[in-house]
Amino acid sequence: MRPQNTHEIDFKKDLEREQSEKIKYRRQLFEVKERLNHFERMKAEYEKLYTEFLVRSIKAERDRQQLEIRIQKMNIFLRFLSLV
């Protein structure tokens, strides 16, 4: 084997360092993508639950209003009966 000169050694060290940094950044990128996916799933679940909540709230409010109307009609009918 022939002795390596300083430039070759420096080149190999730089190459190894760059490869190591690439691996490090790929891992970080993977972790960030995983977090992003997790947040997107959480957002979708939140939107689904919030939509269900809104639908139920609207339905409950509509039912309450219909019940109030029925009570008003019954009160009018009862007042009419009390007059007779």
- Write out pLDDT tens, residues 13-68: 999 999 999 999 999 999 999 999 999 999 999 999 999 999 999 999 999 999 99
Give the total number of structural domains in the chain. 1
Rounded-to-integer distance, Cα 58 and Cα 80, Å:
33
Question: Which of the four pLDDT bands, split at 50, 70 and 90, describes residue 2?
Answer: low
51: its two tokens: 């939509």
Q: Which domain holds residue 64?
A: 1-84
Tally of CB atoms within 10 A around 59: 10
Residue type, 84: V
Q: How far apart are CA 5 and CA 11, in angstroms?
A: 10
Task: Pinpoint the alpha helices (H) of the chain.
Answer: 6-83
Where residue 5 falls among pLDDT bands split at 50, 70, 90? confident
What is the pLDDT, as a whole number, of residue 82?
Answer: 86
